[in-house]
Amino acid sequence: MGLGKKTIDDQNYCGKKVLVRCDFNVPMKDGVITNENRINAALPTIQKLVNDGAKVILCSHLGKPKNGPEAKFSLAPVAVALSAKLGKTVVFADDDNVVGENAKAAVAAMNNGDVVLLQNTRFRKEETKNLPEFSQDLASLADAYVDDAFGSCHRAHCSTAGVTDYIKDTAVGYLMEKEIKYLGNAVNDPVRPFTAILGGAKVADKLNVISNLLEKVDTLIIGGGMAYTFIKAQGYEVGKSLCDDSKLDYCKEMMAKAQEKGVKLLLPVDTACVENFPDPIDAPVETTVVPVTAIPADMEGCDIGPETMKLFADAVKASKTVVWNGPMGVFENPTLAAGTLAVAKAMAESDATTVIGGGDSAAAVQQMGLGDKMTHISTGGGASLEYLEGKELPGIAVIQNA
């Protein structure tokens, strides 16, 4: 399956003003960026446009400003970081209304190969409502549009979708291309056997994902807090473990669907239980490992047990494509991270195409130092989940087809 979308390699942008939607939604503390991964990830696309001799106009949101502009959500620190990484001055156009006098003057003064960064797109309330005024303002600055912000492409906002009503020359950047290639192809055109691993706390968050993946996978592994609802649906007691009683019938339906489709559905066979949930979350904790058929009434399952770790790891080793979204337990606690680590290790050691679907799984894999052993780590939590649900993402849909 090809990419289907125009990419920045399909043309030379020399002399063109190119508006690039990046994902600079970086973690900040007291005005200092604490993790620069997202900035680093954007560099290849920016560099290609600079090398072409384009006039590169960058935009992004940061955080969730409530009532218009807030100083703590300014992108000024990002401009400083970008200047250092690109080895050239990135002009920061600091307008509260994003496309104001500073932005217009900065763009007018650009030479080929220059880079300007606009202020936080969410300083304009129209952004999240996808209203045409702001889309038109953004479009007025540029001749071409490049979307490289996968983490925001599941939202139809002005800077991710609306702007393409007014700029017809559109393409995806390298980061977006990689996401569509790995995440899209892994799900829609996988090399088999194809295994998906779902974890995390709630079944409710992954209803459509479970159902969609059962249409596509050979094996579906379910761990994390959501597994206890499935275990209860099998007729076992789960003690104080996380459980969504309103979803028991749904879990039964999904187990039946798996059987009907000939999909292997793997659930935990043993679990590491604690008497009380750790407080703070990383506090030392005593665990008792029990079979899932015998969880004590006064205990809570917080991780998969050793038998399950082996079961899941063996399934990973027998696969050619593995997609993983959601941890196997309370991975923020060193004792209760064992299951998540076991799955991450099995993926790191496997020859399969391994794709991590953003969010907590991405954080866990990076934290465990296994990030470079994976084929692809998605930059978008919510976006990658919606991709796994089989939804068309608005920020991808609006880009010209190849």
* Binding site as annotated, residues: 23-25, 38, 61-64, 122, 155, 206, 301, 332, 358-361
Q: For this structure, is 320 an active site residue?
A: no
Q: From CA 337, how far away is CA 334, in angstroms rounded?
A: 5
Q: For this structure, is 359 an active site residue?
A: yes
- Which residues belong to the annotated binding site for substrate? 23-25, 38, 61-64, 122, 155
Out of 100, 113, 184, 382, the active site residue is: 382
Read off the tokens for 202: 């709630």
- Residues 141/99, Cβ–Cβ less than 8 Å: yes
Out of 38, 124, 178, 247, the active site residue is: 38
- Which residues belong to the annotated binding site for ATP? 206, 301, 332, 358-361
Q: Which amino acid is at 154?
A: H
Q: For this structure, is 382 an active site residue?
A: yes
| 3-state secondary structure string across the chain | CCCCECEHHHCCCCCCEEEEECCCCCCEECCEECCCHHHHHHHHHHHHHHHHCCEEEEECCCCCCCCCCCHHHCCHHHHHHHHHHHCCCEEEECCCCCCCHHHHHHHHCCCCCCEEEECCHHHCCHHHHCCHHHHHHHHCCCCEEEECCHHHCCCCCCCCCHHHHCCCEEEECHHHHHHHHHHHHHHHCCCCCEEEEECCCCCHHHHHHHHHHHCCCCEEEECCCCHHHHHHHCCCCCCCCCCCHHHHHHHHHHHHHHHHHCCEEECCCEEEEECCCCCCCCCCCCCEEEEHHHCCCCCEEEEECHHHHHHHHHHHHCCCEEEEECCCCCCCCCHHHHHHHHHHHHHHHCCCEEEECCHHHHHHHHHCCCHHHCCEECCCHHHHHHHHCCCCCHHHHCCCEC
- Which residues belong to the annotated binding site for (2R)-3-phosphoglycerate? 38, 122, 155
Q: For this structure, is 124 an active site residue?
A: no
Q: From CA 140, how far away is CA 148, in angstroms rounded?
A: 20
Picking from 129, 143, 123, 136, the residue whose alpha carbon sits closest to that of residue 70 is 123
Out of 200, 223, 224, 359, the active site residue is: 359
Out of 202, 320, 345, 373, the active site residue is: 202
Give the residue numbers marked as catalytic. Answer: 38, 202, 359, 382
